[in-house]
Amino acid sequence: MQVKNIFIHPNFDKSYRKLPKEVKEKAKLKEKIFRKDPFDPRLKTHKLFGKEKECWAFWIDYRYRIKFIFLDDNEVLFLDIGTHEIYK
CATH of 5-87, one of 3.10.450.50, 3.40.1260.10, 3.30.420.10, 3.30.2310.20: 3.30.2310.20
Q: The whole model's pTM is what?
A: 0.93
Q: What is the distance between the alpha carbons of residues 55 and 78, in angstroms, rounded to a whole number?
A: 10
Is 14 within 8 Å of 33 (Cβ atoms)? no
DSSP string, 8-70: E-HHHHHHHHHS-HHHHHHHHHHHHHHHH-TT-GGG--EE--GGGTT-EEEESSSS-EEEEEE
List, for residues 7-63, the tens digit of each pLDDT value.
999 999 999 999 999 999 999 999 999 999 999 999 999 999 999 999 999 999 999
Q: Which helix or strand (DSSP H or E) is residue 75 part of?
A: strand 75-82
